[in-house]
A and B are shown apart, each in its own frame.
Chain A
Amino acid sequence: MFSSYDIVFYLLALFALFSAFGVVTSASPIYSAFFLVLAMMDIACLFVMLGAFFIAGVQLIVYAGAVVVLFVMVLMLFNLHQETEAFSRGTISGMAKLGVTGLLCGILATTLFHFASTAKTIAAEIGPEESTEKLAKLLFSDYLFGFEAISILILVVAVGAVALSQLKGGTHAKS
């Protein structure tokens, strides 16, 4: 029988698929962005169901609350017009799309068959409460170098963004 956990999971999964489909099929870029937010929130819910509260928070704050806000703001800034067709057509680009889709399906299937059982045991092993603390301890001991490297990476991106915004020329370079 289905438990309520299963029911909620399948509903969320269906909704995630629906919103992801919306991202690629909507003709208007602004609707694509809003569908993307829905997909992000959905995935955050799925993380919570796995007991990964912190990752869910990161998903919402960074992706839904910051990255997609930037997307929407930029779309409003440039005021892109509605495309008449959701997909561009062409033999070569069509082949490339098919190839990429096939590759993704392959990766997905492999992941499902190989890691389904391990994922379950890991989720059972990590209690929902401690997982954040465990993650923090790992981050600040074993993965310290990666953590500090992130700050440098972010600095580089900040410098790049500022430099790009100050370029002269082009249609949108000057305010």
Chain B
Amino acid sequence: MGGDAFEVTVNLVKMAVIFLMMVQMVPILVWAERRGSAFIQNRFGPNRVGPLGLTQLLADAVKFIMKEEFVPGKATALLFYAAPVVALIPAALSLAAIPYSVPVHVEAFGEYGPYVFNIQGYEAGLGILFILSVSSLGAYSILMAGYGSANKYSLMGALRASAQMVSYELALSLSVIGVVLIYGTLNLSEIIKLQEGVKFGLPNWGILYQPLGFVLFFSCAFAECNRLPFDLSEAEGELVAGFHTEYGGFKMLLFFMGEYGHMMVASCLATIFYFGGYNIPYCTPTEVLQILETKFASSTVASLLTSLVFLISFLIKVGFFLWLFIWVRWTLPRFRYDQLMNLGWKKMLPWSLFNLILTAAAMLILKG
């Protein structure tokens, strides 16, 4: 039981850290979004409260917390309260399955044996399948909110949002299968390892093999996150605010966290599948470790620093994709609902099938 107790403690700490990181990222992203949108639209954005308007986040948080707790009269209270909490679960579970950096190898220390510490919540054997299946549960929070609010706008918004999510999930899974075909595994860490090194003078990243797949994956990710230009569920011209019309205050904040969490998952996956994960172009983790081992006596410290270097590399890539999400939101107008469904079923789905067939045929001809 001793080993078990240790494992449980490590897991508990890891889970708490990952979840708190996700929660902490949200205000920062909201700030980036507001400043970014102001920059794009030639405005100022929040710049009065603190340096660069950064403490605006704290003011916002206080405002969210101090709002009146409110349930509409005809609402189903249980579903109404459960929906924002459920909205957090898929994003949090997916983020914990993502390998953020190379594992840290801790040397034997006294009576305690050597230990490998993964910079990852848990090693889900079939990571891709795990993340896809967990995020396919994302529709429930929306449906719960739509039904629980007892408001026709919420209901319409929820139906639209879930129909949109399921439609784009097909093209998304098909574009992911393209990646699985190339690397022959569903394990995220293995996919990252296979992207080490250099090919044709360029980093050996997935985008070299799956350029069309990347475009499809990223567009579908926008639809899965209900972000503009796909935020039909919240088309305020028609549906007030979609499925969260009746929500305000802290419960609204939880929905926000869920949405930004989905964005983070999508950015992490795009990085892992198509941009080498935590790999740095033109140098491998072993090389970095060797260099650092000559500088530091303890191999634990060297391993830790290597891990840190690659963590920063991963975060830079993810940060770029998160910025791309914000950038697109403030650049493109919203689709009409029929355009959205047409795009999903009549363009994305056939193109992703084509991409898959092309990949398989190319692999067959080139044998590998």
Contacts and interface: CB of A to CB of B under 8 A. Distances in A.
A and B associate: yes
A155 B31 CA distance: 48
Contacts of B139: 65, 69
A57 B155 contact: no
Interface string B137-151: 101100110110000
Interface residues of B, number: 28
Contact of B133 (A60, A69, A72, A77): A60
Interface in B162-217: 162-163, 166, 169, 186
A57 B129 contact: yes
Interface string A47-66: 00000011011001100111
Interface in A68-89: 69, 72-73, 76-77
A54 B158 CA distance: 30
A129 B124 CA distance: 11
A38 to B, nearest CB: 10
B69 interface: no
Contacts of A76: 143, 146-147, 155, 158-159
B125 interface: yes
B129 A54 contact: yes
B130 interface: yes
B126 A57 contact: yes
A47 to B, nearest CB: 11
A174 to B, nearest CB: 17
A53 B129 contact: yes
B143 A57 contact: no
Contacts of B163: 73
**A interface SS class:** helix
Contacts of B126: 53-54, 57, 132
Given A64-B137, A76-B146, A69 B162 contact: yes
Central interface residue in A30, A60, A65, A129, by most chain B CB within 10 Å: A65
A34 interface: yes
Contact of A65 (B4, B8, B136, B159): B136
Contact of A129 (B125, B144, B155, B166): B125
Interface string B81-102: 0000000000000000000000
B360 interface: no
A66 B166 contact: yes
Contacts of B186: 132
12 contacts: A34-B79, A41-B137, A53-B124, A57-B126, A57-B129, A60-B136, A65-B136, A66-B136, A69-B139, A69-B162, A73-B162, A128-B125
Given A34-B144, A57-B126, A57-B130, 9 more contacts: A4-B4, A53-B130, A57-B129, A60-B136, A60-B137, A61-B132, A65-B139, A69-B140, A129-B125
Interface of B: 1, 4, 8, 79, 124-126, 129-130, 132-134, 136-137, 139-140, 143-144, 146-147, 155, 158-159, 162-163, 166, 169, 186
